[in-house]
Chain A
Amino acid sequence: MIHLFRNSGFDIVLDVNSAAVHLVDEMTARVLRILLDRKDTYGSEELAEPELAREVAEELDQDPELIAEILGELSELTAVGRLFSKDPYEALVPKVMDNKTVVKALCLNIAHDCNLACRYCFAEEGEYHGRRGLMSAETGKKALDFLVRASGSRRNLEVDFFGGEPLLAFDAIKEIVAYGRELEKKHDKLFRFTMTTNGVLLNREVEEFANREMANVVLSLDGRKEVNDRMRPFRGGQGSYDLIVPKLQSMARARDGKQYYLRGTFTSQNLDFVKDIEHFYDLGFRELSMEPVVTDDPQFMITEDNIAQIKDEYDRLVQLMREKKDAGDPFRFFHFMIDLDGGPCVYKRMSGCGAGTEYLAVTPWGELYPCHQFVGQEEFLLGNVEDGITNDEVSRRFKSVNLYTKDACRSCFAKFCCGGGCMANAYQSSGRIDGDYEIGCELERKRVECAIALKAFGSEEG
């Protein structure tokens, strides 16, 4: 399968199964369009047939020698498995399924409580379909013990402090992290702690702690003051922007090269979200993420009618990134990052996010759920930190989902970039964890095209 597209003036071909990316000239793009109108795939020898060159040349009203030369190059790439390559991976599915499940990452919902009342919050301002509460240090330590037990020989372990607002339980976080450092030595593990915070409680002490202990800090802000304050007010209704922006700026500066992301959410109310990304930039942030909202609230949800505008915004974002790079002060956008020569192996790309298998969420009371977005939905309760996973049926269901169990993925050019997409989004949209969330897929495809186009610019620069 190949995907031919045009972005930012480039004609680009992604060979889906090999992940090879080719920049082609305009005439080659025209030849490929004719070929793809006829059928989806070609063999190397077929492309080298003089008769094909004659037919295509006639259709394009071009010199047959030129078309034969182009088809010769396409044939050459096909012969070495970088164009029209076959999918050799489906045969690996049983191997993936048979692998022993090990847990390597926990989302510690350390606070089911929040000091903001964001209007789109899937965690219901921290309550997660349940009651408010903070995780005790003791439960957090048990969660780390569980992770060490369940991780087998896996060395790199990840623990994200999430909420609600995790800094409501800062004392517990400090104790849990200290305990993690002890466990590292005892069990030859490496804990990567991360934190996602709304910034309200950031101060010098938190900054110092985060810079010492946190591999990544995710800072939440939605953009321009009016956008942020409409969506991220305090419980009393007043906006959070004025209080949190200086704190977030200080935290980002303090990271001094260590990883952080400034992460926003856009809704149907700010479909011009590149202005918000530009605002992040103007505030001094350079590591940026902006996510489409996950909600079924008709006031804010992204609908099919919004897709064309969002795609245009992503194109605008590509241009903005180019402008800033050309001016010598670039920024990064999480969803446009792609490593064409490295990146994860095909096993990871087939099995996706790992929710319910290698990635679990823990409630303040020590219950285990497949991921933070399923927390509080009783039918997905997996077990708890003391007894481990006791609901094998739910675990099996999550493990069974992969690229090859989702029909929509089979024909999608972006499948090896999203790994089948977010199961929580699929469930919310279709009622099935292996269902489809077509809007999400459409946006992911656009982001992949933009990410590749940015690489094309890079190659032009040599």
Chain B
Amino acid sequence: MKHIKTLNDKTLNMTVKKGGCGECQTSCQSACKTSCTVGNQECENKKR
């Protein structure tokens, strides 16, 4: 494309099928404790 550059390959809907295992870290256990930042957690699903 000449006018648009897409920065990522994967899309969120790809996670519907294999998501939901719950093995990932709880967001508040990392460094916040007073707000909520979910998007920066890592996925820990080995089967994904």
Q: Please state if B42 and A107 are interface contacts (CB–CB under 8 Å).
A: no
B2, chain A: closest CB distance, angstroms: 7
Using CB atoms, name the residue of chain B closest to A361.
Answer: B28
Q: Is A194 engaged at the interface, CB distance under 8 Å to the other chain?
A: yes
Contacts of A155 in B (CB 8 A): 23
Whether A455 contacts B39 in the complex (CB less than 8 A), given A294-B34, A358-B22, comes out as: no
Q: Which of A73, A81, A345 has a CB less than 8 Å from the CB of B1?
A: A73
Contacts of A416 in B (CB 8 A): 12, 38-39
By the criterion of a CB under 8 Å from any partner CB, how many residues of chain A are at the interface?
92
Looking at B24, B30, B31, B45, the one whose CB has the most chain A CB atoms below 10 A away is: B31
Contact with A along B5-40 (1 / 0, CB 8 A): 111111111011011111111111111111111111
B5, chain A: closest CB distance, angstroms: 4
Q: Please state if B37 and A459 are interface contacts (CB–CB under 8 Å).
A: no
Q: Please state if B4 and A348 are interface contacts (CB–CB under 8 Å).
A: no
Q: Please state if B26 and A373 are interface contacts (CB–CB under 8 Å).
A: no
Contacts of A447 in B (CB 8 A): 37
Give the docked Cα–Cα distance between A66 and B27 (Å). Answer: 45
Q: Please state if B37 and A104 are interface contacts (CB–CB under 8 Å).
A: no
Q: Which of B5, B20, B39 has a CB less than 8 Å from the CB of A338?
A: B39
Q: Is A196 engaged at the interface, CB distance under 8 Å to the other chain?
A: yes
Q: Please state if A339 and B13 are interface contacts (CB–CB under 8 Å).
A: no
Contacts of A23 in B (CB 8 A): 4-7
Give the docked Cα–Cα distance between A431 and B22 (Å). Answer: 29
Q: Is A343 engaged at the interface, CB distance under 8 Å to the other chain?
A: yes
Using CB atoms, name the residue of chain B closest to A15.
Answer: B11
Using CB atoms, name the residue of chain B closest to A151.
Answer: B22
Give the docked Cα–Cα distance between A155 and B35 (Å). Answer: 26
Contacts of A342 in B (CB 8 A): 10, 42-43
Interface SS of B by simple majority: loop
Q: Please state if A73 and B2 are interface contacts (CB–CB under 8 Å).
A: yes
Q: Please state if B41 and A344 are interface contacts (CB–CB under 8 Å).
A: yes
Whether A345 contacts B45 in the complex (CB less than 8 A), given A21-B8, A69-B2, A359-B26, comes out as: yes
Q: Please state if B20 and A77 are interface contacts (CB–CB under 8 Å).
A: no
Q: Is A76 engaged at the interface, CB distance under 8 Å to the other chain?
A: yes
Q: Which of A136-160 contact B (CB under 8 A)?
A: 154-156, 158, 160
Q: Is A28 engaged at the interface, CB distance under 8 Å to the other chain?
A: yes
Give the docked Cα–Cα distance between A24 and B7 (Å). Answer: 11
Q: Please state if A422 and B34 are interface contacts (CB–CB under 8 Å).
A: yes
Q: Which of A69, A340, A346 has a CB less than 8 Å from the CB of B13?
A: A346
Q: Which of A288-344 contact B (CB under 8 A)?
A: 289, 291-294, 334-335, 337-344
Using CB atoms, name the residue of chain B closest to A345.
Answer: B19
Q: Please state if B35 and A372 are interface contacts (CB–CB under 8 Å).
A: no
Contacts of A239 in B (CB 8 A): none
A73, chain B: closest CB distance, angstroms: 5
New A-B pairs, 6, CB < 8 Å, besides A95-B20, A418-B35, A455-B7: A99-B20, A107-B29, A156-B25, A348-B20, A352-B38, A424-B34
What 8 pairs across the A-B complex have the smallest Cβ distances?
Answer: A345-B19, A417-B39, A345-B15, A419-B38, A261-B31, A105-B26, A347-B20, A340-B8
24 residue pairs A–B, Cβ–Cβ below 8 Å: A17-B12, A18-B11, A19-B12, A23-B7, A73-B4, A89-B16, A156-B25, A194-B29, A216-B30, A339-B40, A341-B8, A342-B43, A344-B15, A345-B15, A345-B20, A347-B19, A347-B20, A353-B27, A354-B27, A354-B28, A416-B39, A418-B38, A419-B27, A444-B36
